[in-house]
A and B are shown apart, each in its own frame.
Chain A
Amino acid sequence: MRTLLTIMMMTTQLLANGQAKTEKKTFSRETTVGVNIEASSQIIWALLTNAADYTRWNSTITSMEGDIAIKETIKLKSTLDPDRVFKLKVKEMTAGSRMIWASGAAPFFKGTRTYLLSENENGTVNFTMSEKIGGLMFPMAAGSIPPFDKVFEQFANDLKNEAELISNQKQ
């Protein structure tokens, strides 16, 4: 039990340093980044769910259309592949804690982006973002999909900077 807790704590710390980590398998790839943010989860959640405002604070998103609401589809362009429009469906939203966007169709090729917010004991908020892409077609496409690590790190850094800037405003 103690070993399990230690592993969980180490994992959280690893995911809070702002550095992305990618795990590759034959039929899937998963990139994860985490960072601790000194701001209310309400502010972070508001930033993550206001599509019209993304390009102002997030240097990895060049355009975003649609509403970030359950069952809605959003279209976004990222610096990852500037010419491509990513169409994503909002699959799950639990206010202030969890959101999932998905694209593609299983079992051939599917992408799932998960955002998680959890409050730390010291009042900061741990933000984690992961994306798992995979399916039967993945081994053929894997070589042409760029790595997500740098973009994920930039995303997390931008979110941290913006949320903390808002939080530190004058009363």
Chain B
Amino acid sequence: MPTIDQLNADFEACKGQLKSYLLRMTASVEDVEDIIQDTYVKAHANITSFKGKSTLKTWLFAIASNLARDLLRSQKRWPENVTDICREAALSNRDFLGEMMGIRMNSPQGNFEIKEHITFCFACVSKSLPLEQQLVLLLKQVHDFKVKEIAEIIDNSEAMVKYYLHTARQKMIDIFDHRCSLINQKGICHQCTELNGIFNPKQDAQEELVKIDMVKKAKDKDKEQLFDLRLDIIKSIDPYDSPASALQLRHLKHNKEVMDRHLKEK
């Protein structure tokens, strides 16, 4: 059985990863804070039940995943075209646009970078996957857990983890292939370059795009590889601590509010 000091040390060590994971699951900074706090309280209270069959990190992710699932199970999943719906809502909301511009001008973490928007977009679109698929995709492809560890985290078989992972990947590859103009000239979504034009009016978007491996390799048309390159970008960015985190977190809050309203009306 680990000591409380060990628990505290491991909790602090993986807290950043846990927060990123939960933010992409919930799209809510407030929910993340609640779940993080509850995760620690539960771990502390049940430390005697930890038998060491997995690492403490895996155990903490299992507790946090269960809390997130309890919260999200009753909520509807977002639609695949979430970014279209939220774009329309943003364009008709002058207060929000003004606030975003204020963050861009004044916040030290208010930069706009296309790479950061790619991670923001991934967070929104992945909420269209069935809950278990999203969870497994994030655990495996963003946080590098092994299939066996994920099976422990979600309390399911390795076979089902593989099934969720495969179906999640194929669905996301298909969505981005149809939507994302960065990898498909016929893609209907140009939001990252559109926003780059608004927030960085003097910057040449094409010069920025050629720095991104996923865009450079788009002509190769290997969809699996393009998705892996997209995941590399996502893994490289901490949504809580990046040059654009203030701007992106405000944008995510906006999209969550729009989606809550949209799904309620539906």
Contacts and interface: CB of A to CB of B under 8 A. Distances in A.
B28 interface: no
Interface stretch (B81-89, B155-163, B200-208, B255-263): B155-163
B167 A50 contact: yes
A18 to B, nearest CB: 22
B236 interface: no
Contact of B166 (A40, A42, A165, A171): A165
A42 B159 contact: yes
Contact of B163 (A42, A56, A170): A42
B147 interface: yes
A56 B170 contact: yes
B152 to A, nearest CB: 13
A43 B163 contact: yes
Contact of A169 (B148, B165, B171): B165
Contacts of A118: none
Contacts, number: 36
A42 B167 contact: no
B174 interface: yes
Residue among B147, B158, B159, B170 having the largest count of chain A Cβ atoms under 10 Å = B159
A46 interface: yes
Nearest to B174: A56
A50 B160 CA distance: 13
A167 interface: yes
A56 B162 CA distance: 16
B146 interface: yes
Interface of A: 39-40, 42-43, 46-47, 50, 53, 56, 165-167, 169-171
Given A42-B160, A171-B147, A171-B158, 12 more contacts: A39-B159, A40-B159, A42-B159, A42-B163, A50-B167, A53-B171, A56-B170, A56-B174, A165-B166, A166-B163, A169-B162, A169-B165
11 contacts: A39-B159, A40-B157, A40-B159, A42-B160, A43-B160, A43-B163, A50-B167, A167-B162, A169-B162, A169-B166, A171-B147
